[in-house]
Structure formats: C-alpha cells, structure tokens
Copies of this chain bind each other. A is one copy, B any other.
C-alpha cells in the first residue's frame, strides 16, 4: 500500500516517514511539501540519507498517488486535501487541529481564529484517540472515506491519564489540573528564540499559561469520558511548560477525589491505609486499560518518566495519592512525536485498515 504524507518536511511529517518506512503493510511512500516541492527529503533530513529515496511532490500529486494520506500541515490549510482524498475515496488522517472538534465549529473558531472551510467534511470525520473512539473509527471507516482528526500531544497525555478516573466516577467537584512539560520538538522545526539552544537549555519555564489551544480539546475529551459514566465533565486548568529535552511529554495531573473530607494541614508521611487506597486505584486503572496495546499502567510505587517512552508509542501512567488521601495524582508520559502525533496517526491507520494495531509500532523504547 502506498501511503502519502503531506507536509512531510516538518518534524511530525519526518516522524511519519520514519515510522511508515518500517511498517509491514506500507510498500511505498509519496511525500509532499508545499514549501520544498521539487526537493528531496534526505537533503532536508540527512538522517534519511541512503534510507528514503523520495522526492517531494505537490500535495495534490501525493493525494492522487496514495491509498491513504497523512497531513502534517499547519492548522487551517489542509481541508482542500481532505476533500480531494474523500473524492478519491481514500482515508485522510490530519495531524492538525482542523478535524479535532467535529461539528463544534464555534470552539474551533474561538481558539484557532478561522472558520471551517468545508463544514460538511465533519460528517465523515472522527476524533482519532483510539482509547476513546476505536469502535467509532472502525465503523466510520467501514462506511466511507473517513477523516481522522488526530489528537494533540498534550490532550493525548492528559486524556489517557484521567479517563479511568472520570469514567469510573472517582473525580469529585473542583477542577482537574493538568501541569505538563513538553520537549522542545513540540514547538516544531522552525527556529525561534524560545527554542534557541542557549535560551531553553538548562531551564524550565511555562508558556501560554491558562490560554493554550489544547485546553478546549482536553476539556472536551474529559466531558466525553465523564458522560460515559453519566457524569458532568470537570473544569480544567492546564499549564504547559517547556523542558530541556528533545522529545517527550510528562503530564502531572491532579484530580480531586469524590469522597474527600477536610484535609488536615500538617502533612504526615503516607500511611499504609493511604497506600492501600492508592494501590486500589492503580489496579482500577490497569483494569480499565487491560486491552490497550499502548497504555502501560505502572506498578504502584513507580513513577512515569518521559525518557522511558522515547521513540515509542507507549503512554506510561503512574498512579499516586496525596498523603491526605484527597487528591489523585496521575503522571502520564508519552513521546510527543509518536503517541502524541505520528505514532498515533499510524495507529489510526492500522485501525482503519484492520491491520494489527501495533503494526509498525512495535519498537520498544531504549533503556537510555
């Protein structure tokens, strides 16, 4: 099968190239670039030298040559290609935000500043978080050329970290706080002062506090999962940070527990009772994700680390309880470029075509 990648020259596009080059069901790649049409991928990415022998074509040419198309273009410019692929009867997996909000154009417009170009495409689109929508993706793919709104990186880490608590009704009133750190590749390939090595190395800093575009996506996911348990979704507070690492997202998430009483101000070292409750919730999480190939709920007592999932499609989750037992603390780690972008897109492709869900995604993370 020929897979096409539009916007192949950004980091997410290049990661798609890397993953699809090793995919057992992909026999060829068609690579597209608006800004580098006519060039070669290995001239831009020397890591692909002698590995990927492909020129960069127009997005249209890619759409016409492929049996599935991935778009790693920026927000707001890919709808034409989504339409073209639909007209050709092939699925389209969009890594931008364009198809993440289904028919809620209002939210999309409020945060991304532009209207939908072809609103009717949303009849064929689905939010591509497999742990939330696997069956829906399968059903839609069976009926028509489906469009996948591939999730954002932070929303993936945050949602997978909180879903069990929401669905099982552990969360009490009060906002869920998602405090997350991203590696610098999350900012994309274009050089900018914030991502200039001397400025961001050896330093941690938040950005877009209280106003990051992934907020509405996270919040919507929370509501959807809470609804499955017949509950309201929680309020969300989301603070992203830049950390000096190439890849990775680590989200530390605070979920107020339903049955929490007054918390005694002087903290005490954790009691056996508290640890027992924490271990129970950990087991509930492990049960929730029992069938998921890419979610690893760590043994109680361990803590997730972004470096442990580097270059893999895993989401590692560790479950903790504060000493007073009032707040569930979930740590969720993904590789922002894999489960947070290209890997999840490949996972969606596998679901669409009925491949093994781990096909092309089986590489284990390295120890270091």
Contacts and interface: CB of A to CB of B under 8 A. Distances in A.
B46 A263 contact: no
A180 B210 CA distance: 17
Nearest to A292: B50
Contacts of A247: 198, 202, 368
Nearest to A303: B206
A267 B305 CA distance: 28
Contacts of A45: 367
A143 interface: no
Interface stretch (A114-122, A147-155, A162-170, A324-332): A324-332
Contact of A245 (B202, B252, B321): B202
A237 B322 contact: yes
Interface in A350-368: 362-368
A309 to B, nearest CB: 7
Contacts of A219: 265-267
Given A47-B364, A237-B329, A198 B323 contact: no
A175 interface: yes
Interface stretch (A15-23, A55-63, A69-77, A86-94): A15-23
Give the one of A185, A238, A267 with max B CB within 10 A.
A267
Interface in A13-71: 14-15, 17-18, 21-22, 45-52
A298 B49 contact: yes
A15 B304 contact: no
Give the one of A47, A207, A298 with max B CB within 10 A.
A47
Contacts of A327: 175, 177, 237
Interface residue tally on A, bucketed by range: 35 or more
25 contacts: A11-B198, A18-B363, A50-B314, A107-B266, A110-B269, A174-B256, A175-B322, A179-B179, A179-B252, A184-B201, A189-B198, A191-B196, A197-B200, A198-B368, A199-B368, A201-B245, A202-B202, A202-B247, A203-B245, A210-B321, A211-B270, A233-B265, A235-B264, A235-B324, A337-B368
A265 B223 contact: yes
Contacts of A241: 181, 250, 252
Interface in A265-300: 265-270, 296, 298
A11 to B, nearest CB: 6
Nearest to A342: B366
A248 B227 CA distance: 41
A211 B269 contact: yes
